[in-house]
Amino acid sequence: MAEQEHHVDPTGLVRGGEGAITGTVVCAAAIAYGAGHLDTVGQLCVAIVGTVLVYWLAHLHAVTIGAALSHRTHPFAAFRFALVETLPILFVSFVPLVVLLLAEVLGADLSGAGWAALGATIALLAVYSWVACARGGLDLRGRLLGATAGALLGVLVALLKVALH
């Protein structure tokens, strides 16, 4: 494990973005399923938080064990490394949750709030991809293609929502 620079990066986009993308997709999948099978926005929020939390714990465990095995480090050192690497999975779930709750406050029903939150996840995936392409030095066309690819990942989840309901 390389030494980590200490800077504020709650979404992990400075370090790489894997956790942000994974957490966003997991959150979107929970929304896609839950919006059609639950009765309230509150229940959907609990389902999202629970799903993301369990996924994060599994990922935290996997990264901890993987780091301890591959780098022959003490499990506590590996855990500290894994904690920093995986926290973005949790942090990115706040945006769709806020959108979900805000949509409800503004009068949307569960389905409408779910679509709004799912739209937010699609937008996040597009933005993450745009940022990655920009940092990679791609021109406008390359950035647009990258953002489209990210958005399409979210659209796949939206299609899952349509198929499940």
What are the mean pLDDT values of the chain's consecutive 10-residue runs (165 residues total)? 52 66 90 88 94 94 93 91 90 93 96 94 94 94 97 89 75
SS3 category, 34? helix
Whether 84 is covered by a domain: the verdict is yes
Q: How high is the pLDDT of residue 8? A: 60
34, 160 contact by CB (below 8 A): no
Q: What are phi and psi of 82, to 5 degrees?
A: -65, -35
Whether 51 is covered by a domain: the verdict is yes
Please state whether the predicted TM-score (pTM) of the whole model is above 0.85.
no
Whether 10 is covered by a domain: the verdict is no
Whether 3 is covered by a domain: the verdict is no
Whether 2 is covered by a domain: the verdict is no
Closest CA to 111 of 64, 158, 148, 78: 158
Q: How high is the pLDDT of residue 146? A: 97
Q: How high is the pLDDT of residue 164? A: 72
Domain extent at residue 96: 18-164
Whether 7 is covered by a domain: the verdict is no
Whether 62 is covered by a domain: the verdict is yes
Q: How high is the pLDDT of residue 10? A: 56
Q: How high is the pLDDT of residue 14? A: 56
Q: How high is the pLDDT of residue 158? A: 84
Whether 8 is covered by a domain: the verdict is no
Q: How many domains does the chain have?
A: 1
Q: What are phi and psi of 66, to 5 degrees?
A: -60, -45
Q: How high is the pLDDT of residue 161? A: 74
